[in-house]
Amino acid sequence: MWRELKTLISSINSNKCWYCESRDMRSDNAVDHFRPKGRVARERHEGYWWLAFDPRNYRFSCTFCNSRRVDEEGGTSGGKQDAFPLADGSKRAVAPDDTLEGEFPVLLDPCCMPDTDLLWFDETGQVVPNPSTARGPSQALRVKTSIQLYHLDHVKLVESRRRVYLQVYRLIRAADRTYRRWMSGDEGAKDVYQDLLVQIRSQAVREAEHSATARCALLGYRVSSGAADAVLRFL
Ligand SMILES: [Zn+2]
């Protein structure tokens, strides 16, 4: 039953880790319990055992986001494990009858739109607080803690995102040049322009690995690139 459920959960986000959007690189994917089921790190807490079979507590996760890993080569470490820190002012649930609404998790939840909107991916492949949304100190702290605990600064992951960003950049530049040719009377350029827009869009659709990085690249060039703006209208 668990295997069938895992397949279903995996398919929801095109087999990508819900935290880092990796598909294979950091594989051995597991179903993570967002609220740890057995114990809570650095707390006198027996874990959210009553949520062990609650699908709302499941997040499809790669090994690097889910488990402790040290990347000697890149000098980084991370992995969520049993961590589930709460912000000041929270009332932690300790039993099934306790409400979860009094908890303000520090870790960003990939199932919560305002949370995912706090992240921004830059041209180097690094993830940083979104300058448009993560404006308060608590949001910046949540981003920083999430980067560390989900190991989002893992060098191979950063490099993978950087390649996506660079690819989008090259494609939008090529598309902008082709568009200008079309506008100058070269009717044959229109099909090439169309093909380039399709290629850019394929990097930014939800199913693509690191699509959030591709979308940040498009948003970053939206004003200076007509192609970036066009693709964003078709997402
Ligand atoms: Zn991951």
CA of 175 to the centre of ligand 1 (A): 32
pLDDT-derived band at 7 (thresholds 50, 70, 90) equals: confident
Query: Do residue 132 and residue 71 come from a single domain?
Result: yes
Boundary residue ending a domain (153, 171, 186): 153
CA of 62 to the centre of ligand 1 (A): 4
Query: Do residue 146 and residue 70 come from a single domain?
Result: yes
Query: Do residue 127 and residue 176 come from a single domain?
Result: no
pLDDT of 29 above 70: no
CA of 23 to the centre of ligand 1 (A): 8
Query: Do residue 229 and residue 148 come from a single domain?
Result: no
3-state helix, strand, coil in the chain (%, to 5): 45, 10, 50
Identify the pLDDT of residue 28.
63
pLDDT-derived band at 202 (thresholds 50, 70, 90) equals: very high
| Residue 221 burial class via C-beta count within 10 angstroms: exposed 0-12, middle 13-18, buried 19 and up | buried
CA of 25 to the centre of ligand 1 (A): 9
Boundary residue ending a domain (127, 153, 179): 153
Note down the domain range covering 193.
156-233
Cα–Cα distance, 201 to 198 (Å, whole number): 5
Determine what percent of the chain is predicted with pLDDT higher than 70: 98
pLDDT of 74 above 90: no
Identify the pLDDT of residue 70.
87
Task: Give CA separation, 113 vs 36, 110, 127, in Å.
Answer: 21, 7, 17
CA of 57 to the centre of ligand 1 (A): 16
CA of 182 to the centre of ligand 1 (A): 42
CA of 5 to the centre of ligand 1 (A): 19
Q: Which residue, among 174, 160, 137, has the nearest Cα to 209 in the 3D structure?
A: 160
CA of 151 to the centre of ligand 1 (A): 8
pLDDT of 24 above 90: no
CA of 132 to the centre of ligand 1 (A): 24
- Of 65-74, 153-162, 212-221, the range with the lowest mean pLDDT is 65-74
Query: Do residue 85 and residue 142 come from a single domain?
Result: yes
Query: Do residue 124 and residue 181 come from a single domain?
Result: no
Query: Do residue 97 and residue 188 come from a single domain?
Result: no
CA of 116 to the centre of ligand 1 (A): 14
Query: Do residue 144 and residue 181 come from a single domain?
Result: no
Query: Do residue 148 and residue 165 come from a single domain?
Result: no
CA of 91 to the centre of ligand 1 (A): 28
Q: What is the total count of domains within the chain?
A: 2
CA of 187 to the centre of ligand 1 (A): 45
Query: Do residue 104 and residue 174 come from a single domain?
Result: no
Query: Do residue 224 and residue 143 come from a single domain?
Result: no
pLDDT of 15 above 80: yes
pLDDT of 88 above 60: yes
Query: Do residue 167 and residue 226 come from a single domain?
Result: yes
Average pLDDT of the chain, as a whole number: 94
